Amino acid sequence: MSARDQILQRLRNRTGDRLPTPERDFTAMARPEWSTEDKLARFRSAMAPVHGEIHDCRGDNWVTVLAGLLADRQVARMLVGSGAEPLTTLRSSKQELPDILVYDEPVESWQEHLFHNVDAGLTTTRGGIAETGSLILWPTAEEPRLTSLVPPIHVALLKASELFGTLREAMAVQHWHQGMPTNALLVSSPSKTADIEQTLAYGVHGPRELIVLVTE
């Protein structure tokens, strides 16, 4: 028997007392029951210092707000996932919008176009975290993660009813333990880095602008 086999056999034969399972103490993560208004206020205060732009919308009014923001930035092409929403709402709107590019093919077939000819990306969100000012993105085949990571402007739709106090609350309410995508994302600001001469710069490794449209 090799040394490796001897070690494994000793581990199999070990019959010592099992270590007790420690009690789960989440009191440090406990937060008061915040109202929706409180959550929105905390979300804003956390995101504003890192250049996150937040706009309140009502119903389908978000398309009107979006059209104005994109026009101000002279956006010519906007990338949207292939899912029913928000694509259906955009296509039925009478607002003057940029050309809508639908992410409905493998990235390999149009990578050059994606990285050089798309001005903005519009995504849905799984919700938001008030405590940290973070968006929860849940990439799918219909809305790949590159929709939010590649275009220089990222616009995210956030339902006020899906704003949670903490990450732990979001994970519990949405039952993350029952299944997650391969790359769930938490987005708290535009892309930024201070690696260059210790000077904070935005848009170096991803979007230089993050625009959040809060609906409901």
Per-residue pLDDT tens over the stretch 79-98: 999 999 999 999 999 999 99
Helix/strand/coil for 53: strand
Record the pTM: 0.83
Q: What is the spatial order of strands in the sheet that 134-137 belongs to?
A: 163-164, 127-129, 134-137, 185-187
Q: Is the pLDDT of residue 17 over 60?
A: no
pLDDT in tens, 24-76: 766 666 778 899 999 999 999 999 998 999 999 987 799 999 999 999 999 99
* Backbone dihedral region for residue 26 (phi beyond 0: left; psi -120 to 50: alpha; all else: beta): alpha
Specify the CATH architecture of the domain 33-215: 3-Layer(aba) Sandwich (3.40)
Structure confidence at residue 31 (pLDDT): 77
Q: Which residue has the tokens 């973070």?
A: 134
Radius of gyration of the chain (CA): 22
Distances (CA, A) of 185 to 38, 117, 125, 136, 180: 24, 24, 10, 6, 11
Phi, psi of 102 (to 5 degrees): -95, 130
